[in-house]
Amino acid sequence: MSTVQTAEGPTPAPASMTPEMKKAVRRTGWVRRAPLMPALIFAILVTQLPFLLTIFYSLQSWNLVRPGSSEFVGLDNYINVFADSTFRGAALRTILITGGCVLIAMLFGVLLAILLDRPFRGRGVVRTLLITPFLVMPVAGALLWKTTIFDPLFGLLNFVLSPFGVDSVAWVSQYPMAAVITALVWQWTPFMMLLVLAGLQSQGKDVLEASATDGANRWQTFRWVTLPHLRRYIELGLLLGSIYVVNTFDTIYMMTQGGPGTSTTNLPFYLYQRAFLGFDVGQAAALGVVTVIGTIIVATVAMRLIFRSFSREDS
């Protein structure tokens, strides 16, 4: 057990160890690593192999619908990617959709969580109602918004707003981005709310009482006690939310097909179109590689920030 203890932690084995000790450490290292291996190997195989294949295809010129067109073209496809203004637009819109959705959903999530944290009649029921949008199949949710809520003729939104002189507004085609983000916010708010609620409920009541006896009012208590406590929950929510929302495909596919024009085309939808509409395998693969690299850069920065905040509080 003691060897195990010394090997623990991120510090590498000191150089002063004898070869036998090193070997022992290495052996126990393998023993402790063994349970990790199946998951790690599985993840590497399933996620990295396709990526390697993508890199290979990205160096080819291959249009599926023109047989015999496959040839090695080096970095030609990449030159086209960087000349592609639609791609840049799609990247920007991905950031806008992800950022907009996640931030607004978090705002609603915090508000709803605070409201739910106080005891009142029917609290369980309201929580049940509130988490439902997260459980609804996104394909169904997007159709629901597009058809029943936003439809210019039969939509409920125009019906509700008709006393105020708003009628036959085609929400999805006039405000496509707002429409898509609204549907996404509706879907993701419950997720944020659950996380923040978990944070609120893990807060020690003694701290709050102490704050109250110190004469702090409710807002001060929230601002200086609760909010710092919630910070990591909020950060985690933003991170997890971003991971999922950045890959949004169903909602765009169902609501706007990326339109009108390309005004709601995000990267996943654009990549899909390049692959299954353009059938230009080489170009689609090059786009994929550039997207992955871009995502890794953005994600690394974001993850480091979040992990640092985690470890800072841990230490």
Partner 1 sequence: MNASTELTSRPRPAESRSGAPAGRRKQTGAQRAGGIALTTLTWVLGLAFFFPVLWMALTGFKSEAEAYSDPPTLFFVPTLEQYRSVFDRGVLPYLLNSVWATLISAILVIVLATPAAYALSIKPVKRTQDVLFFFISTKMLPVAAVIVPLYVAAQQLSLADNIWTLVVLYTAMNLPIAVWMMRSFFMEVPKEMLEAARVDGATLPQMLRQVLMPVVLPGVAATALICLIFSWNEFFFAVNLTAARAATVPVFLVGFITSEGLYWAQLSAAATLASLPVILAGWAAQKQLVRGLSMGAVK
Partner 2 sequence: MSISERRSPGRRGPARVVAALLTVPVLLGACAGAGDLGSSGDRTRLTVAIVANPQMEDAMTLSSQFRAANPDIDPVFVSLPENEARAKITASVATGGSEYDIVMISNYETQMWAENGWLVNLQPYIDDNPEYDDADFIPTIRESLSYEGDMYSVPFYGESSFLVYREDLFEEAGLTMPEQPTWTEIAEFASVLDDPANGRSGICLRGLAGWGENLAPLGTVIHTFGGRWFDEEWNAALDSPETAAAVQFYVDLVREHGQPGAATSGYTDCLTRYSQGQTAMWYDATAMVSAVEDPSESLVAGQSGYAPAPVQETDGAGWLYSWSLSIPETSEHKDEAWRFIQWVTDKDYQRLVGEELGWSRVPPGARLSTYEIPEYAEVAGAFAEPTLRALASGDESNPTTLPIPYEGIQFVRIPEFQDLGTRVGQQISAAVAGSVTVEEALEQSQRYAETVGQTYQG
Q: How many chain residues touch partner 1 (CB under 8 A)?
A: 112
User: At residue 72, what are phi and psi to the nearest 5 degrees?
Assistant: -80, 125
Q: Which stretch binds partner 2 (CB under 8 A): 28-36, 44-52, 129-137, 165-173?
A: 165-173
Distance CA(16)–CA(254), nearest Å, equals 63
Distance CA(244)–CA(254), nearest Å, equals 17
> Taking CB under 8 A as the rule, does residue 287 contact partner 1?
yes
Quickly tell me which residue has 């496809």 as its tokens. 77
**Per-residue contact flags (x/-) with partner 1 for residues 245 to 284, judged by CB under 8 A:** -xx-xx--x-------------xxx-xx--xx----x--x
Q: Return the number of other C-beta atoms located less than 10 Å from residue 182's C-beta.
A: 20
- Kindly state the DSSP code that residue 61 receives in the 8-state scheme: E
Residues 82-101 touching partner 2, rule: CB under 8 A, are 86
Residues 62-121 touching partner 1, rule: CB under 8 A, are 112, 115-121
Structure token pair of residue 72: 């090695």
**Per-residue contact flags (x/-) with partner 1 for residues 142 to 171, judged by CB under 8 A:** -xxx-xxx---xx-x--x------------
Is residue 65 helix, strand or coil? coil
User: At residue 239, what are phi and psi to the nearest 5 degrees?
Assistant: -65, -55
Least separation, in Å, of the C-beta of 259 and partner 2? 5
> Taking CB under 8 A as the rule, does residue 56 contact partner 2?
no
Near partner 1 by CB under 8 A: residue from 72, 82, 107, 128:
128
Angle between helices 176-201 and 123-135 (to 10 degrees): 130
> Taking CB under 8 A as the rule, does residue 277 contact partner 2?
yes
The alpha carbon dihedral of 256, 260, 263, 266 has a sign of positive
Near partner 2 by CB under 8 A: residue from 51, 224, 276, 307:
276
Contact residues: partner 2, CB under 8 A:
63-67, 86, 152-153, 168-170, 172-174, 176, 256-263, 273, 276-280
